[in-house]
Structure formats: structure tokens, C-alpha cells
Amino acid sequence: MPNLVAIVGRPNVGKSTLFNRLTQSRKAIVSDTAGTTRDRQYGKCQWNGQEFSIVDTGGWVVKSDDIFEGAIREQVKVATEEADLVLFLVDVETGLTDWDEDVATILRRAKLPVILVANKVDNSGEAYEAAEFYKLGLGDPQCISAATGGGTGDLLDVVVATLPKEAKEIVDDDIPRFAVVGRPNAGKSSIINAFIGEDRNIVTEIAGTTRDSIYTRFNKFGFDFYLVDTAGIRKKNKVTEDLEFYSVMRSIRSIENSDVCILMVDATRGIEAQDMNIFQLIQKNNKSLIVVVNKWDLVENKDQKVIDTFKNAIYNRMAPFVDFPIIFASALTKQRIFKVLETAKEVYQNRHIHIGTTKLNEVMLPIIEQTPPPSTKGKYIKIKYCSQLPNTQIPSFVFYANLPQYIKEPYRRFLENKIRDNWSLHGCPINVFIRQK
């Protein structure tokens, strides 16, 4: 299982620039105005064959001057509880600030490794300016320029050397792993209790080898699966539970270690930003999904129109991925709790679908013939055949075409939808590639 690295630091020190460089994504918006960055919260980095996840704490601050620094401080604390390693970024242009000292105090007390990183060392002549940060009591700073990339290779060497070694969990690979995720108060602990009750005979707790990772095996009523991180979910942390960042940090490990995510939504609140953040984590990790609209007992009018309105609202928010089940349930009254497990099992099986090449072509080629890819620049575009790739993490299909570069996203999506119409891939992300033949 991957390790989790958190980047912390004052606004404008270059967290998002560094996050971008490490994850090599160009999605992050870098700006000169403090606190304007978004969608840079979570990504993956690979270095020397080791993979780890990165969270940029700067992506989560509520933008308001009076709570700004307090909120960041709070996030630093959460990061120290949930991450495996912290990159503490400071800025040689501004030099040492009181706030850096505050954060250093929190970090010195934390039990995880901290790497002090002096950013904006754009040329070697500036490296001496970084010496003052030694005062923070966190060792010698690693000098980097996130903007040019200078020093980041050395930094990554240190990160990889410092991260705890990835330990193999003692779990059976053939048994599905379900994670229950959702915002605070959505009913995660309640539904886990409804699944396993307090009956010790049906569950075995297997202590994971990594901090906080615990799989609970459930084997009864024809079900056999692991619930991921149940102990972590049932452990309450009321102090920070309102923090958006907190629910995300809490979810990362569970999601990364699961096959199917059971996303709990509170029927009395609808879909909110926090639900969307968790949904995006599920998507970025290519996990299968079912949505449980919980606390359905509290909804008075449950006629079909209300159900449809709920469903449409959820699908609209999560578009374009809309092929997943939504179940209206109550962890309290146990209404449809079994349905949730049954559906999670089906969705897991969909992940392992194998469609033979003959069958796939028999169905897809006539569809393509009827609705061929639109010709671009007078070019005739032809898809010759298709097949499913073997041994992939999620079902992946390749369509071979004479001019793949002219087949655009809408048509790719059309192909994906046609595959979904013809085979049961409910809840399961799939890949559709177009390649040259």
C-alpha cells in the first residue's frame, strides 16, 4: 500500500508549484494571489520505482483572512496525524517568519518524519540564505527551486529513503475489499455496525502492518469480504471533524486500499462539496463505486418522484461518470443494508469481467458502422476492430483505427457508453483507448 506525504507551509511559499512538479500534473493553478489555488489536493508520485501519494494542504484552506492562519495550523495537525511524512516548505525570498516557527513547534512534537524544504533557491548563490531556517530545529533544509525543478531530485531521494518501507499486508488477494467512506456524520460507523454488529464471531480483526490500516474480514450469509479501516472510522475525533480537509485525509487510506468504495451520503443534506472531494479521490484511484443515500428513515415523502429527484441530483453532480448504483438505506433501521452488501459484491464482480474478442467485435462493429467516427479535415476514419486488454487493474478496451489522432473525446465516450449498454459494468470505471492499426 502506498505511503502518504503531506506538503505544509505558509500561503505563497510554493506548495502548489512543488505539488505540481512532483505529480507532474499541469492541472494545478499557480497564482500570485495567496490562497487562490484549487484542484491540486491529491496526486501520486513515482521515484526510483517507489510510489507514494501526495496531499497539498494548501488546497484546503477556507479563504477568509481571520481564520486563515488558524485553519492552516489545524490542517498541519491533521496532516501529522494522517500522513507518513511531512514536507515543511519555507521560502528563502521572504525568510523566516513567526508563523514558520509556530508550525515548526507543532511538527517537532509530531511522531512522523519531517523534511524541512527551503524553496525559491533559484540559483546556488541563494543557498546560503537558507541557513537561517536551521533555527527551526528540524535539521538542515533541503534547498530546492520548485519553479525550475532544481534540487527536487535530491529531495525525492531523501523522501524515498525516509518513508517507511512498504509492508505487505496479510490479506487474501481474491477476497474483495470494501471501504465505507463519506463526510463526517454521514453514518459510516453506523452502517459498519449494522454490517458486523457486535458479534465477534463473524469478524476477525487483522492488524495491518502499517499504522491505522486494519482489515476486518466478514464471512457470513454468503458474503466474504474485507472492510477496510473500520477501526479508523469507528475511532472518533470530534475536534477536527468539521474540517473538510480532515474527511479527505481520513478517506485516502481506505480508498487506496479498497476495490469497491461505499460512499455514504446523508439524505438530509444532499451532495455537498465534501462528498464531491471524496468522490474525486475514488475516481483518481480508479475504484468501483456505490452510493448509499443514508438516513432514508428521516425522509418523510419517499415517493418515486422524490427518489428520482435525488438520483438525478447525484448523477448530475458526478457526471460524466453516472453508471453506478444508488441505494436508499438506513443504517439505523437496517433498511436495505443487505442490498448494499449484495450490490457491492456485484460491482466487485463487474471489475473482473472478461469479454471475448469475438463477442466484443460482434456487438461493437455494427454499432460503429451505424455511427462511425465523424470525419475530420476530409479524412476518412475507420475503426477496424477492438479487444479487451488482459491483466489490467480495471476493464480496458482498445479500438484500433487508421487515424486514432482524429477520434475525439465525445466519440470515445460514445464507445464507452455502448460497452456499458451491452455489458454489466455498473459501478466500475473502465478505460477506452484508441490505437493505430
Ligand X SMILES: Nc1nc2c(ncn2[C@@H]2O[C@H](COP(=O)(O)OP(=O)(O)OP(=O)(O)O)[C@@H](O)[C@H]2O)c(=O)[nH]1
Binding residues for GTP: 9-16, 56-60, 119-122, 182-189, 229-233, 294-297
Q: Cβ of residue 37: shortest distance to ligand X, in angstroms? A: 4
Smaller CB separation from ligand X, 98 or 409? 98
Burial class (CB in 10 A: 0-12, 13-18, 19+), 358: exposed
Cα distance between residue 310 and residue 308, in whole Å: 5
Nearer to ligand X, 212 or 224 (CB): 212
Cβ 93 to ligand X, closest distance in Å?
A: 7
What are the residues binding ligand X (CB under 6 A)? 9, 11-17, 30-32, 34-35, 37, 58, 119-120, 122, 145-147, 182, 184-190, 233, 236, 241, 294-295, 297-298, 330-332
Read off the C-alpha cell for 273. 462539496
Alpha carbon distance 65, 161 (integer Å): 38
The nearest distance, CB 283 to ligand X, in angstroms, is 21
Nearest 5 degrees, angle CA 316-CA 322-CA 325? 110
Cis peptide before 325 (omega within 30 of 0): no
Q: Which is nearer to ligand X, 138 or 267 (CB)?
A: 267
Q: Residues at the annotated binding site?
A: 9-16, 56-60, 119-122, 182-189, 229-233, 294-297
Q: How far is the CB of 243 from ligand X (least distance, A)?
A: 11
Q: Write down how long the chain is.
A: 437
Residue nearer to ligand X on the CB measure, 297 or 342: 297
Q: Enumerate long-range contacts of 237-242, CB under 8 Å, 24 or more apart.
A: 240/74, 240/77, 240/78, 241/184, 241/185, 242/184
Edge-to-edge order in the sheet of strand 396-401: 383-388, 396-401, 431-436
Q: Which is nearer to ligand X, 151 or 429 (CB)?
A: 151
Q: How far is the CB of 277 from ligand X (least distance, A)?
A: 14
Residue number, 67 or 167, with CB nearest to ligand X: 67
- CA of residue 154 relative to chain centroid, distance: 27
What angle do the packed helices 152-162 and 15-23 form, to 10 degrees?
A: 80
Angle between helices 188-196 and 337-351 (to 10 degrees): 90
**Distance separating alpha carbons of residues 105 and 420, to the nearest angstrom:** 53
Least separation in angstroms between residue 35's CB and ligand X is 4
